[in-house]
Amino acid sequence: MSRVIVGLSGGVDSAVAALLLKEQGYEVVGVFMKNWEEKDENGVCTATADREDALRAADAIGVPCYTVNFTKEYAERVFSYFLDEYRKMRTPNPDILCNTEIKFKAFLEFALGMEADILATGHYARLDKTSRLRLLRGADANKDQTYFLAGLDEEKLRRVVFPVGGLTKAEVRDIARRASLPNAEKKDSTGVCFIGERDFKKFLMDFLPANPGDIVDLTGRKLARHDGLMYYTLGQRKGLGIGGKDFGTGESWFVVGKNVKENLLIVQQGEHEELYSTSLTCGKVSFISKRPGNGSFRCTAKFRYRQPDQGVTVELKDGGCRIVFDEPQRAVTPGQWAVLYDGDECLGGGEIDEVVPLKPLPKFLYDNH
pLDDT for res 239:
87
Return the active site residues.
98, 193
Both 332 and 258 in one domain: the answer is no
- Closest among 61, 62, 36, 40 to 51, alpha carbons compared: 36
Which of 155, 178, 201 represents a domain boundary (last residue)? 178
Residue 313 lies in a domain: yes
Both 167 and 149 in one domain: the answer is yes
Residue 198 lies in a domain: no
Which of 128, 161, 178 represents a domain boundary (last residue)? 178
pLDDT for res 41:
52
Both 16 and 136 in one domain: the answer is yes
Exposed/middle/buried for residue 75 (C-beta within 10 Å: 0-12, 13-18, 19+): middle
Both 20 and 164 in one domain: the answer is yes
Whole-number Å distance between alpha carbons of 266 and 364: 11
For 306, the domain range is 276-357
Q: Give the residues of the chain that fall short of pLDDT 70.
A: 1, 38-45, 190-198, 243-248, 366-369
* Number of domains observed in the structure of the chain: 3
Residue 100 lies in a domain: yes
The DSSP secondary-structure symbol of 76 reads I
Both 55 and 126 in one domain: the answer is yes
Both 16 and 163 in one domain: the answer is yes
Both 20 and 157 in one domain: the answer is yes
Q: Model confidence over 154-183: pLDDT tens digits?
A: 999 999 999 999 999 999 999 999 999 999
